[in-house]
Amino acid sequence: MNQGLHVPEELLNQIEYILTHLAEKAHTDSIVLADISGQVISINGIMDEGTPDVVAALAAGDVAAMAELSKRIGESDPHGSFFHEGESKSIYLHNIAGSFILIVIYRAETPIGLVRLFAKRAVEQLIPITEEFEKIVGPPSSYTPDGFSKGITQELNDTFLED
């Protein structure tokens, strides 16, 4: 994964289909698929701008901590799932093969059993797709990256406010 992930459109469409199906079946509020380093890969549902990135970053820290905790109590497979039960909304996290995280946000009145059932099915469908990510090492043939890195100075000046 150190060379980075290139996720082509057709795989993203498959992921979106799986997340949409999960959202419909489990009546979820929103769903984020992230990689284990906390980068957002796909989103389902409506979230404020920037929220998915924060959710993914925090979930990555949470999943990593839980994996370490599991190891400390002798669990041989630390890639399980766990959830936080809130008053109005709850969060279900599922570690996908140690490389990706499925983050499901659902209303408190939704039964956790329903979320777990359909989330596990979604994870089973996502595993072969996420395995495909690792095999893709380059951009689509239609993309020529000549311009990437040109114009960076202007963009940096536009992004940061000088004193």
Q: Is 141 in the site for other proteins (CB under 8 A)?
A: no
For other proteins, the binding residue among 24, 68, 77, 132 (CB under 8 A) is 68
CB of 153 to other proteins, least distance (A): 8
Find the binder of other proteins among 14, 45, 53, 112 (CB under 8 A): 53
Least distance CB 97 / other proteins (angstroms):
15
CA distances from 15 to 20, 89, 134, 146 (A): 9, 24, 15, 29
Kindly state whether residue 47 participates in binding other proteins, applying the rule CB under 8 A.
no
Residue 87 is a binding residue for other proteins (CB under 8 A): no
The binding track of 2-31 with respect to other proteins, each residue x by CB under 8 A or -, is xxxxxxxx--xx------------------
Given candidates 17, 20, 65, 80, which one binds other proteins under the rule CB under 8 A?
Answer: 65
Residue 138 CA to residue 160 CA, distance in Å, equals 31
Of 1, 97, 117, 127, the one binding other proteins (CB under 8 A) is 1
Residue 3 CA to residue 92 CA, distance in Å, equals 29
Burial class of residue 158, CB neighbours in 10 A (0-12, 13-18, 19+): exposed
The DSSP element (H or E) to which 87 belongs, if any, is: none
Size of the site for other proteins (CB under 8 A): 51
- Taking CB under 8 A as the rule, does residue 61 contact other proteins? yes
Gyration radius from the chain CA atoms = 18
The C-alpha atoms of residue 115 and residue 129 are separated, in whole angstroms, by 21
Write b or e for each residue in 108-140: b if 16 or more Cβ atoms lie within 10 A of its Cβ, otherwise e: eebeeeebbebbeebbeebeebbeebeeeeeee
Binding positions for other proteins, rule: CB under 8 A = 1-9, 12-13, 35-41, 49-50, 53-54, 57-58, 60-61, 64-65, 68, 138-140, 143-153, 155-156, 158-163
